Chain A
Amino acid sequence: MVVQWMKTASVLASVGTALLALSGGALAQQIDITDHEGRPVHLDAPAQRIVTIPMPMASGVIALDGGTSKLVGMNPLSLTAIREGILGRIFPAAANITDSVTGTDFMPNVEALAAANPDLVIQWGGRGNDIVDPITNAGLNALLIKYGTEELTRQYMTMVATAIGKPERIGPLVEWRDKVEKEIEAKTAGLAAADRPSVLYLGNALSSITASGDKGNYNAFYINMVGARSASAGLSGSAAINKEQIAEWNPDIILLNAFEPQLDVNWVYDDPILSLTKAAQNHRVYKMPLGGYRWDPPNQESPLGWMWLADLVHPELFNFDLRGEMKTAYQTLYNYQLTDADIDGILWMDKQGTATGYDRFKAK
């Protein structure tokens, strides 16, 4: 009797599925992805509720989707970028999305995760199982992505676009990244070592100063791409350094991170040691812009960051129309028309508008 009923039910269910598949079309489309840890990720339908634990991915999901409706949780440092940057103005609703799903150390808060009820949780891969197990143990679907290279960035952006059922959005973005990268590399590939200025990117500055070696470091990737070399290439991984070491490196250009809101170029110019470096003497100290996301790590706006840096490092080789490129990109990514005031804010024109090479970024 029970068996009979179950059979009937299963027949009915499969008929139902078939009907749904017939009527719903794309809605019932199943999605299968292999993530960066080689794990199969299965979705019965495009993800509608997504939690992003890696910091740059929150704005990545917004850009790939063209809105905030699918993002239901993010890293606290993603939220500060949204609140401090322009994304909070373009998408005011994003500022109310919860950031309690994870600590800034990427350790998920399972209860808050469960409360957000996501059908997909994006998490860092390559950092051990401790930050992944809480997600899978709670029965949630995890997509693991790896940080480091441009290739990985394109791969995981494609995975996420596929997962949210908008694969058509990723093609043009990847093509754009490829085009800008090739355009820049065509001009810098033949540069001799002597023609490559040394650039120091500081991941932290205010309480302790940190810099990174070249291996697996995205900042070093684009520093090399635009025809410069990283002053801190000799370090292994991210390490605390002191001002004396910076004086010894004596970089031609200093890049300050966009993660510390109180940090601006005066931190260098007011310092008795750093103000004597070549970078400070030649007014080539720049804080990384904060657009839809901070331009330091890989994100949907990376090509804008490369153009910005290429113009600053080799003004004789490059002359990108950065303001025009930004307007086009923001239209595509967020369906938003950037004003000149928006661009001034993103590029910190008020703080570093007088820096060497910055005049070409001024509004015409």
Chain B
Amino acid sequence: MVTYAGEAVASPTPRRHGRPTLIFIGLVVTLLASILVSLCAGRFSVPVDRALAILWQGLLHPGATPTTIDERIVLLVRAPRVLLAAMAGAGLAVAGTGLQGVFRNPLVSPDILGISQGAAFGGALAIILGIWGLPLIGMVFLLGLAALVGVGFLSRINGRTETVTVILAGLVVGSMFTALVSLLQFIADPNSSLPAIVFWLMGSFSTATWERVLIATPGLLLGTALLWGLRFRLNLLALEETEARSLGVRTEPERWLVFLVVAVIVGSQVAVSGIIGWIGIVIPHAARLLVGHDHRTLLPAAVVLGAAFMVIIDTLARSATSAEIPLGVITALVGAPVFALLLRRYYRERKEQ
């Protein structure tokens, strides 16, 4: 039997994960179902059969301009919003998975490490300076990366990086950038720039347009594809440092490569929908429980699960009441208990083994 390094990691805790194919089919069906339901649900009542017919027409003739109100609601309001939510959810989940692997630490995620806050500061700073469009996205990405680099340096003491110091460094950097955004809010013209800045702190998909989908797609797709390409490397990086080195991994540069990719993903997400908490930590854990620790199956599971979860949450946010429910409220209300439950189950099972 040929074993290679990637597999070695998948088996230190031999867990029975049923049939991965079945699980994946279940996940993909859930995602597709949630997208369909989401496209049919909303404050403006469009009968389900009419919504599906509009969708079908939209898929057949993607270039056609929708004219009636129900066509526009489905194709110009709901479709980009659902797509953006799915992509952002997938991106956050996969970024969280990558970070947890690299830091060998189940408690990190883009928002806990301050990357989201750094990215938000980049966006707010760009608005204050009057920068819009692609350069704005560039600043979002750069500041997100800067936050991550800051955490990396802060948490590295005498060449070692410990779990607690990573979390605390993330806290420090995240608070720092939150304070900087608040400072910009303070300086901002209350009439014009301020509402635009508040957007970066309060995650929301209510401003979703096809244009925003186009802005977010390259970074999210490229980042996710790169992480997928690094799946074997992630398995190795998740090993103990010495073990990884003995298997011929140059841990430092590869770690930075993952960081760069994560910054691209999170920057793209924050640029179009602001800071969204909890997804990056809850989804990787849920995915791990379903398919195990091997990044070859874990990454795709996180992508599908993150997308489905985000779509369901956002559908609730926009259609439960006449008022939009803030996204962060629902992600925390759903995310925190699920996370607590997962955590307890995870450690109980570890003890039993």
B323/A208 in contact, CB under 8 A = no
Tell whether A240 pairs with B44 under 8 Å between CB atoms, given A76-B190, A245-B322, A259-B191. Answer: no
Residue of A nearest to B186 (CB): A103
B251 close to A (CB within 8 Å)? no
Bound form: Cα–Cα A240–B323 in Å: 5
Residue of B nearest to A76 (CB): B190
A77 close to B (CB within 8 Å)? yes
Which of the listed residues B68, B72, B195, B323 has the most CB atoms from chain A within 10 Å of its own CB?
Answer: B323
Residues of A within 8 A of B77 (CB): 242-244, 273
B69/A276 in contact, CB under 8 A = yes
A239/B191 in contact, CB under 8 A = no
A114 close to B (CB within 8 Å)? no
Bound form: Cα–Cα A104–B73 in Å: 35
B76/A80 in contact, CB under 8 A = no
How many A-B pairs have beta carbons closer than 8 Å: the answer is: 76
A340 close to B (CB within 8 Å)? no
Which parts of A71-113 form the interface with B (CB within 8 Å)?
76-77, 80, 104
Give chain A's interface residue range (CB within 8 Å of chain B).
Answer: 20 to 34
Chain A nearest CB: distance from B202 CB in Å?
Answer: 8
Residues of B within 8 A of A209 (CB): 206
Residues of B within 8 A of A191 (CB): none
Chain B nearest CB: distance from A283 CB in Å?
Answer: 17
Bound form: Cα–Cα A244–B315 in Å: 12
Residue of B nearest to A238 (CB): B323
Tell whether A273 pairs with B43 under 8 Å between CB atoms, given A77-B191, A208-B195, A241-B322. Answer: no
A235/B323 in contact, CB under 8 A = yes
Residues of B within 8 A of A25 (CB): none
Residue of B nearest to A210 (CB): B323
A261 close to B (CB within 8 Å)? yes
Residues of B within 8 A of A80 (CB): 190-191
A207 close to B (CB within 8 Å)? yes
B204 close to A (CB within 8 Å)? yes
Tell whether A245 pairs with B44 under 8 Å between CB atoms, given A76-B190, A261-B191. Answer: yes
B322/A244 in contact, CB under 8 A = no
B293 close to A (CB within 8 Å)? no
Q: Among the listed B66, B73, B190, B195, which residue makes an inter-chain contact with A244, where contact means beta carbons less than 8 Å apart?
A: B73
Tell whether A245 pairs with B43 under 8 Å between CB atoms, given A208-B206, A240-B324, A273-B76. Answer: yes
B192/A242 in contact, CB under 8 A = no
Which parts of A271-310 form the interface with B (CB within 8 Å)?
272-273, 276
A242/B318 in contact, CB under 8 A = yes
Chain A nearest CB: distance from B347 CB in Å?
Answer: 39
A77/B43 in contact, CB under 8 A = no
Q: Among the listed B66, B72, B190, B198, which residue makes an inter-chain contact with A104, where contact means beta carbons less than 8 Å apart?
A: B190
B199/A207 in contact, CB under 8 A = yes
B171 close to A (CB within 8 Å)? no
Chain B nearest CB: distance from A110 CB in Å?
Answer: 17
B206/A272 in contact, CB under 8 A = no
A204 close to B (CB within 8 Å)? yes
Which of the listed residues A77, A206, A207, A234 has the most CB atoms from chain B within 10 Å of its own CB?
Answer: A207
Residue of B nearest to A245 (CB): B43
Residues of A within 8 A of B68 (CB): 276
Residues of B within 8 A of A243 (CB): 77
A247/B323 in contact, CB under 8 A = no
Residues of A within 8 A of B204 (CB): 208
Residue of A nearest to B70 (CB): A247
Residues of B within 8 A of A76 (CB): 190
Residues of A within 8 A of B192 (CB): 260-262
A248 close to B (CB within 8 Å)? yes
Residue of A nearest to B323 (CB): A239
Bound form: Cα–Cα A213–B259 in Å: 47
Which parts of A253-272 form the interface with B (CB within 8 Å)?
259-262, 272
Which parts of B187-220 form the interface with A (CB within 8 Å)?
190-192, 195-196, 198-199, 204, 206-207
Q: Among the listed B44, B198, B207, which residue makes an inter-chain contact with A247, where contact means beta carbons less than 8 Å apart?
A: B44
Bound form: Cα–Cα A278–B314 in Å: 28
Bound form: Cα–Cα A290–B76 in Å: 33
Bound form: Cα–Cα A259–B323 in Å: 21
Q: Among the listed A234, A240, A273, which residue makes an inter-chain contact with B69, where contact means beta carbons less than 8 Å apart?
A: A273
B206/A273 in contact, CB under 8 A = no
Which of the listed residues B43, B76, B190, B322 has the most CB atoms from chain A within 10 Å of its own CB?
Answer: B322
B21 close to A (CB within 8 Å)? no
Chain A nearest CB: distance from B44 CB in Å?
Answer: 4
Residues of B within 8 A of A77 (CB): 190-191
B191/A235 in contact, CB under 8 A = no
B13 close to A (CB within 8 Å)? no
B45 close to A (CB within 8 Å)? yes
B144 close to A (CB within 8 Å)? no
Bound form: Cα–Cα A242–B43 in Å: 9
Residue of B nearest to A261 (CB): B191
A206/B43 in contact, CB under 8 A = no
Q: Among the listed A240, A261, A262, which residue makes an inter-chain contact with B206, where contact means beta carbons less than 8 Å apart?
A: A240
Q: Among the listed B45, B66, B195, which residue makes an inter-chain contact with A248, where contact means beta carbons less than 8 Å apart?
A: B45
B42 close to A (CB within 8 Å)? yes
Residues of B within 8 A of A235 (CB): 322-323
A273/B191 in contact, CB under 8 A = no
New A-B contacts (12) at CB < 8 Å, excluding given A240-B206, A245-B322, A272-B66? A204-B195, A209-B206, A240-B326, A241-B322, A241-B324, A242-B318, A245-B43, A248-B43, A261-B191, A272-B76, A273-B73, A273-B77
Residues of B within 8 A of A (CB): 42-45, 66, 68-69, 72-73, 76-78, 190-192, 195-196, 198-199, 204, 206-207, 318, 322-324, 326
| Listed A/B pairs (14) with beta-carbon separation below 8 Å | A77-B190, A207-B196, A207-B199, A207-B207, A208-B206, A235-B322, A239-B324, A240-B323, A240-B326, A242-B77, A244-B43, A245-B43, A261-B191, A276-B68
- Kindly list the 5 A-B residue pairs having the minimum CB-CB distance in the complex, ordered from nearest: A239-B323, A207-B195, A245-B43, A240-B324, A248-B44
Residues of A within 8 A of B (CB): 76-77, 80, 104, 204, 206-209, 232, 234-235, 239-245, 247-248, 259-262, 272-273, 276
